[in-house]
């Protein structure tokens, strides 16, 4: 470097842009007085050839080694002047620009102030440039691959332009198909050519192009790197269908029982849960829409897929429904009658009106089976290891059922004379008839399970010695708990289970006139209702808490009351009164409710001195059951709570190979919980016999479907379950009668399909190509590209927020996009313009600027609505020959052929009313308005407020930024303008680039625009990407961070704040001690300066933006030093 600093200062007039406000001569004279300034001149256009030549000549002739140009923004001409310096042999980084146009001339009319500020800026630039250092630009190679995000018309166009140049393109589209909004359109303005005719060829080309890797149903997750070398992680969402084998034949959709509103048809038609958005979709494959597990399934202890069979019932597929249930468990008839149905408690429909009657529907499937005939094919025993199940209650049978279907030979040992356990002996026949139980156990036997009744097991080792390799214990909790009060052992005191067992076995039980039942669970209710049926005249249930705390099924309690059973709540017996060894009554204490206990129910607290007596002949105690600890006591470990000790996950007992579940492990619980335990044990036994890890990946959790939409769902009461008249009720006749077919279908049709796909798996059977893979998971793909084109499109404005336009409340008020679907031959009405009642409209109003040019919503003009409104008017005329009214503020037809199109429509006889609509209403004030939609607006040209009665209203809704534009902006590190659309680098001269080099933005992601403009932008962005590829390298700014080793102490403050991940902490040994410092990656660094600002030690600086250089400017401006 030369010793003496010689600066040339050039003040630009920029025509009158600068010189009109800033006194350029005064600034020039001032510049001459500044230290080291060798020359100062002003010129009309410094950026012109002569302007540049002056600088070049001065550099050479006056030996300048620094240059300052005071003119416009560096964004405009920094490169111009750097080139000029460079060509004159001066390092271009020894040049500095002062912005006296945007920062001085354009921001004030005060000439003096502008001139004064211009001087300050020139002074600052002169001070700074003196301290600047020569730098060399860096170059890196460009990765020739390009990522295009968004497969609408803009994205497709960009992808094709680049791919046609034989460069690899990755096209990421989040929807199942490319095509974007254009695929939804009918005709396109102003030429009226069919949108599909011109876009599907592009779609198919994209789908088959050898240089395009189409990643549909995928989203960009992460972007790192910089221009020329981006690393991108893409999430390929599970579509549960293998794309390769799927032929798009559509057989799967035919059998799918779940219908949801079609997004593509904007809710005007239904689609299946397995779907292809539209027939010309690319790729031409189906996708299964899952929204997590339905709450009913998550709530079921056994994970029974209720949504699956409910959906199938709604479609009349009763047999398939039962098969769906049997994938999980065999007890449709049993659980359809006695299940406590936690599924119904969680049912989302309950938040809207009433939960689906899932239990009754389950029963319906079993009731209906005889109609179709049961076909049972015994399962082949493919496994050699024999399994013994001890106990034939619900747990044992569920375990046996799952194991036999895995191919194991299974034998069930039952001590009682008949199988079924508590189902047979603990539940009265009027709730669960024996033939239902027999039939379902029979089904399990037909599959190949051997049941040996009357076969008590004394010791497990005997079982093992008989050759069984694994054992499941499901013996239950069959011992009645005692109350521990005086007189409990008296004649006439019964225990509920013994009582029910005797009655259920057909034994005669004599009861007195008055019977009290103690307890509030299902056994108490069953005992009370049975006592009534056996002949007791008066039956009272005594329960210590209130009715809401009763654990019994509430409908059962209601039925008990209907049958004349009395409830005596908030009371507990303290003594059994006896006379001559026979019960005569009970002495009770009244209770009150305190704070909730561990069970969450409010704790009963005795009220002192509140005893009272009740005269009874019999007392039935139903306060709970316990496990008989004497069973297998020599072998099994029991817990302190008196239940069998098992591993909570695998259910393995202390004996290897022996597992236990159901009431004997949980204490008394429900049938469905026992079934769940049996199923878990079956998994363990299978793993055990295969030698696999018992616990890996268990317990599994199901992610519940969230945000189930309920808007627009009509409220509908649940179908009531028919009941037997009370006078006809006896010991064995069922009280609850099942649904008939019609009721079942009606009830099942209320299901909201929370999980979307119901997992019924009918599609799996229907797919000949075997393309369906319900186990598919999201996949991540990492790609590397040199540039990225963002073409993420727009959302349409939701007009329901403008309540006075009636969208969502009034029929036949639709949006412009909905109209496009209606007009489209592949749309919901096959191209006919129809009202909701199926008739054709005679008059239609098209309301412009809905959500556009409106301070309350979007202040900007959405650009395309005037034109598509005219097009809609044409289509209405053509297809329905209806009268059309356009309510507009200004008609904006700016584009080639657009004004001509306007003229054509005027010629077609469209009515134009200049005025923004104030209200759309169905409130008629005259006969002409009856049954019409009345559009109220001022015809501002007439100066009258008018009411226009029409049949249909089309709202020309605004185009808005995507709802996730902010997140997408962050992902790609690109900014947004005030309206929320992505910001281009320069609105006129660089409309497709962004402030993040190498990332381009095209189409409606940048601003609302029509198809020709989107396509033009896409081609422009493609050209920019191709230019980079063609050059093969990009120049990077040399003003990047540099670590000053002697200052950096490795505090690492700068590491985290660096937005480009360019800084790493390193440790090294120096003279025997560990030293720390940071390293900055010159390729990643963008010179933003965050590190410099963070560093407390001046250990990291940005070249040419060093602290002394910036301080010099600040001092100059503040007039210091």
Nearer to other proteins, 441 or 849 (CB): 849
Pick the closer one to other proteins by CB: 633 or 810: 810
- Across 135-177, the runs of DSSP E, i.e. the strands, are 138-141, 146-149, 169-172
What is the DSSP secondary structure assignment for residue 714, as one 8-state letter? P
Task: Please say which residue, 554 or 940, places its beta carbon nearer to other proteins.
Answer: 940
By C-beta, is 555 or 945 nearer to other proteins?
A: 945
Per DSSP (E only), the strands in 1022-1087 are 1033-1036, 1041-1043, 1063-1070, 1073-1080
User: From the CB of 857, what's the least distance to other proteins, in Å?
Assistant: 8
Residue whose CB is less far from other proteins, 573 or 851: 851
Tokens of 311: 């959906």
Give min distance, CB of 919 to other proteins, in A.
7
Tell me how far apart the alpha carbons of residues 126 and 67 are, in angstroms, rounded to a whole number.
8
State the minimum distance, in angstroms, from the CB of residue 873 to other proteins: 20
What's the half-sphere exposure (Cβ side, CA atoms, 13 Å) at 446?
A: 11
Of the candidates 557, 558, 554, 560, the residue with the CA atom closest to the CA atom of residue 533: 560
Helices 898-907 and 865-880, axial angle in degrees (round to 10): 30
- Residues in contact with other proteins by CB under 8 A are 803-804, 849, 853-856, 889-890, 914-919, 921, 923, 925, 936-940, 943-945
Shortest reach from residue 803's CB to other proteins, in Å: 6
266: left (phi over 0), alpha (psi -120 to 50) or beta: left
Which residue, 435 or 890, has its beta carbon nearer to other proteins? Answer: 890
Query: Residue 426 contacts by C-beta under 8 Å, 6 or more apart in sequence?
Result: 497, 500, 501, 504, 523, 526
C-beta of 805: minimal distance to other proteins in Å?
10
Of residues 224 and 940, the one with the C-beta less far from other proteins = 940
H-helix or E-strand spanning residue 253: helix 251-255
For other proteins, the closer of residues 801 and 1066 by Cβ is 801
Which residues touch 708 (CB under 8 Å, ≥6 apart)?
291, 348, 752, 754
CB of 891 to other proteins, least distance (A): 13
- Residue 912 or 1105: the one with the smaller Cβ distance to other proteins is 912
Which residue lies nearer to other proteins by CB, 691 or 943? 943
Residue 650, both tokens: 């695998």
Alpha carbon distance 1042, 1060 (integer Å): 15
Residue with tokens 């005259």: 926
* Secondary structure element (H or E) that encloses residue 589, with its range: strand 582-596
Contact between 170 and 803 under an 8 Å Cβ cutoff? The reply is no
Radius of gyration (C-alpha) of the chain in whole angstroms: 41
**Nearer CB in complex with other proteins: 73/940:** 940
Give min distance, CB of 1057 to other proteins, in A: 40
Q: How far is the CB of 936 from other proteins (least distance, A)?
A: 5
Element (H, E) at 344: helix 342-346
Pairing assessment for the beta strands 218-226 and 229-236 based on DSSP bridges: antiparallel
At 576, give phi and psi (nearest 5°).
Answer: -95, 125
Alpha-carbon distance of 575 to 616, in angstroms, equals 12
Name which of 939 and 964 has its Cβ closer to other proteins.
Answer: 939
Three-class DSSP category at 438: helix
Shortest distance in whole angstroms from residue 678 CB to other proteins = 50
Pick from 619, 623, 617, 625: which is nearest to 493 by CA?
A: 619
How many other C-beta atoms lie within 10 A of the C-beta of residue 1053?
16
- Paired tokens of 425: 């002996």
Q: How far is the CB of 1004 from other proteins (least distance, A)?
A: 22
> Which residue blocks in 863-1010 are alpha helix, DSSP H?
865-880, 898-907, 965-972
680 contacts 301 by C-beta, under 8 angstroms: no
* C-beta of residue 230 within 8 angstroms of C-beta of residue 785: yes
CA atoms of 727 and 733, how far apart (whole Å):
11
Q: Which residue has the tokens 């690492």?
A: 1052
Positive or negative, the Cα torsion across 259, 260, 261, 264?
negative
Which CB atom, from 290 or from 853, has the smaller least distance to other proteins? 853
Judged by DSSP in three states, 812 sits in coil
Closest by CA to 260, choosing from 926, 710, 678, 923, is 710
Under a CB-based contact definition with an 8 Å cutoff, are residues 330 and 443 in contact? Answer: yes
Q: How far is the CB of 717 from other proteins (least distance, A)?
A: 19
Cβ-based nearer residue to other proteins, 804 or 1033: 804
Query: Which residue, 164 or 939, is less far from other proteins as judged by CB?
Result: 939
List C-alpha distances in Å: 975 to 17, 58, 74, 194, 231.
29, 40, 19, 35, 20
Least distance from C-beta 946 to other proteins, angstroms? Answer: 8
Q: Which is nearer to other proteins, 584 or 957 (CB)?
A: 957
CB of 851 to other proteins, least distance (A): 10
Give the number of C-alpha atoms closer than 13 A to the C-alpha of residue 671, restricted to the C-beta side.
28
- Residue closer to other proteins by CB (options 741, 854) is 854
The least CB distance from residue 847 to other proteins, in Å, is 11
Rounded CA separation 302/678 (Å): 9
Q: Maximum distance among all alpha carbons in the chain? A: 136
Q: How far apart are CA 397 and CA 334, in angstroms?
A: 12
**Least Å from the CB of residue 947 to other proteins:** 9
Of 666, 620, 794, 713, nearest in space to 348 by CA? 713
* Residue closer to other proteins, measured from CB, 544 or 848: 848
Closest approach, Cβ 918 to other proteins, in A, equals 3
CB of 860 to other proteins, least distance (A): 12
> Shortest distance, CB of residue 931 to other proteins, whole angstroms?
15
């Amino acid at each position: 470097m030369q010793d003496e600093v010689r600066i040339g200062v050039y003040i630009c007039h920029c025509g009158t842009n600068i010189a009109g406000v800033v006194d350029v001569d005064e600034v020039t004279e001032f510049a001459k007085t500044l230290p080291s300034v060798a020359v100062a001149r002003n010129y009309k256009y410094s950026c012109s050839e002569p302007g540049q030549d002056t600088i070049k000549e001065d550099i050479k002739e006056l030996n300048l080694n620094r240059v300052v140009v005071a003119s416009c923004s560096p964004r405009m001409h920094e490169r111009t002047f750097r080139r000029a310096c460079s060509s004159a042999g001066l390092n271009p980084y020894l040049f500095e620009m002062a912005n006296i146009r945007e920062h001085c001339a354009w921001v004030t009319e005060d000439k003096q102030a502008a001139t004064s500020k211009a001087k300050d800026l020139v002074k600052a630039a002169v001070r700074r440039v003196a301290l600047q250092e020569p730098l060399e630009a860096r170059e890196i190679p460009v990765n020739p691959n390009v990522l295009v995000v968004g497969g609408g018309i803009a994205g497709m166009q960009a992808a094709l332009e680049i791919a046609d140049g034989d460069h690899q393109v990755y096209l990421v589209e989040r929807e199942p198909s490319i095509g974007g909004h254009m695929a939804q359109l009918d005709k396109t303005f102003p030429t009226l050519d069919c949108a599909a005719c011109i876009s599907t060829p592009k779609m198919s080309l994209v789908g088959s192009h050898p240089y395009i890797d189409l990643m549909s149903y995928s989203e960009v997750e992460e972007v790192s790197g910089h221009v020329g070398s981006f690393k991108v992680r893409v999430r390929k969402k599970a579509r549960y269908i293998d794309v390769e084998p799927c032929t798009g034949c559509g057989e799967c959709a035919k059998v799918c029982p779940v219908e949801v509103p079609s997004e593509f048809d904007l809710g005007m038609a239904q689609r299946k849960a397995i779907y292809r958005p539209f027939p010309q979709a690319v790729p031409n494959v189906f996708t299964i829409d899952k929204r997590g597990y339905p709450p009913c399934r998550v709530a079921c202890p056994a994970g029974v897929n209720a949504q699956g069979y409910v959906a199938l019932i709604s479609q009349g597929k009763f047999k398939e429904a039962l098969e769906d249930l049997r994938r999980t468990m065999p007890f449709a008839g049993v659980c359809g009658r006695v299940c406590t149905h936690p599924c119904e408690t969680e049912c989302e429909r309950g938040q809207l009106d009433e939960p689906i009657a899932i239990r009754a529907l389950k029963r319906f499937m079993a009731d209906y089976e005889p109609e179709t005939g049961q076909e049972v094919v015994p399962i082949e025993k493919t496994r050699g290891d024999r399994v013994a199940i001890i106990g034939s209650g619900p747990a044992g049978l569920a375990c046996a059922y799952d194991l036999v279907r895995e191919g194991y030979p299974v034998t069930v040992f039952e001590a009682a004379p008949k199988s079924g356990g508590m189902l047979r002996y603990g539940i009265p026949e009027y709730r669960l008839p024996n033939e239902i139980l027999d039939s379902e156990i029979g089904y399990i036997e037909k599959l190949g399970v051997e049941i040996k009744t009357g076969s008590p097991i004394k010791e497990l080792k005997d079982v093992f010695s008989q050759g069984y390799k694994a054992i499941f214990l499901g013996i239950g909790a069959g011992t009645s708990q005692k109350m521990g009060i005086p007189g409990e052992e008296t004649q006439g005191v019964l225990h509920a289970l013994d009582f029910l067992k005797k009655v259920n076995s057909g034994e005669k039980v004599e009861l007195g006139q008055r019977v009290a039942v103690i307890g509030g669970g299902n056994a108490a209710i069953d005992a009370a209702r049975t006592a009534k049926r056996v002949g007791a005249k008066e039956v009272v249930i005594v329960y210590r808490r209130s009715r809401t705390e009763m654990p019994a099924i509430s409908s059962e309690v209601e039925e008990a009351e209907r049958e004349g059973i009395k409830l005596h709540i908030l009371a507990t017996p303290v003594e059994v009164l006896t006379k001559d060894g026979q019960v005569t009554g009970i002495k009770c204490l009244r209770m009150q409710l305190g704070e909730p206990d561990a069970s969450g129910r409010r704790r009963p607290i005795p009220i002192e001195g509140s005893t009272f007596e009740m005269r009874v002949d019999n007392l039935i105690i139903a306060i709970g059951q316990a496990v008989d600890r004497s069973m297998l006591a020599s072998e099994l470990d029991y817990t302190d709570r008196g239940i069998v000790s098992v591993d909570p996950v695998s259910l393995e007992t202390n004996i290897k190979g022996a597992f236990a579940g159901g009431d004997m492990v949980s204490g008394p619980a429900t049938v469905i919980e026992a079934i769940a335990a049996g199923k878990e044990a079956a998994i363990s036994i299978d793993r055990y016999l295969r030698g696999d890890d018992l616990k890996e990946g268990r317990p599994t959790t199901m992610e519940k479907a969230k945000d189930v939409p309920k808007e627009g769902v009509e409220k509908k009461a649940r179908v009531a379950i028919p009941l037997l008249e009370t006078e006809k009720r006896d010991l064995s006749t069922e009280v609850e009668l099942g649904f008939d077919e019609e009721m079942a279908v009606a009830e099942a049709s209320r299901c909201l399909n929370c999980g979307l796909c119901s997992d019924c798996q009918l599609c799996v059977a229907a797919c000949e190509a075997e393309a369906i893979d319900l186990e598919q998971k999201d996949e991540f793909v990492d790609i590397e590209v040199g540039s990225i084109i963002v073409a993420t499109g727009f959302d349409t404005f939701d007009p329901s927020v403008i309540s006075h336009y009636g969208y969502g409340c009034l029929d036949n008020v639709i949006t412009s996009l909905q109209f496009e679907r209606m007009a489209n031959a592949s749309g919901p009405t096959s191209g006919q313009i129809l009202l909701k009642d199926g008739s054709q409209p005679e008059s239609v109003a098209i309301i412009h600027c809905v959500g556009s040019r409106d301070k309350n919503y979007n202040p900007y003009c959405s650009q395309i609505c005037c034109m598509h409104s005219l097009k809609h008017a044409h289509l209405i005329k053509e297809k329905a020959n209806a009268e059309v009214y356009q309510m507009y503020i200004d008609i904006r037809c700016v584009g080639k052929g657009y004004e001509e199109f306007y003229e054509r429509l005027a010629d077609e006889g469209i009515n134009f009313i200049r005025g923004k609509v104030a209200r759309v209403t169905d409130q008629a004030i005259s006969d002409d308005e009856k049954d019409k939609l009345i559009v109220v607006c001022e015809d501002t040209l007439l100066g009258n407020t008018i009411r226009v009665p029409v049949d249909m209203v089309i709202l020309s809704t605004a185009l808005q930024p995507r709802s996730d534009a902010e997140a997408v902006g962050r992902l790609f590190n690109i900014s947004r303008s005030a309206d929320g659309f992505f910001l281009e680098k320069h609105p006129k001269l660089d409309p497709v680039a962004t402030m993040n080099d190498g990332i381009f933005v095209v189409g409606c992601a940048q601003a609302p625009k029509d198809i020709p403009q989107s396509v033009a932008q896409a081609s422009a962005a493609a050209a920019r990407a191709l230019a980079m590829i063609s050059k093969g390298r990009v120049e990077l700014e040399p003003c990047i961070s540099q670590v000053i080793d002697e200052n950096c102490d490795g505090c690492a403050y700068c590491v985290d704040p660096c937005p480009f991940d360019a800084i790493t902490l390193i440790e090294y040994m120096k003279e025997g001690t560990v030293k720390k410092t940071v390293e900055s990656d010159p390729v990643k660094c963008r010179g933003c300066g965050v590190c410099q600002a963070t560093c407390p030690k001046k250990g990291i600086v940005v070249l040419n933006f060093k602290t002394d250089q910036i301080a010099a400017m600040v001092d100059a401006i503040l007039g210091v030093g």
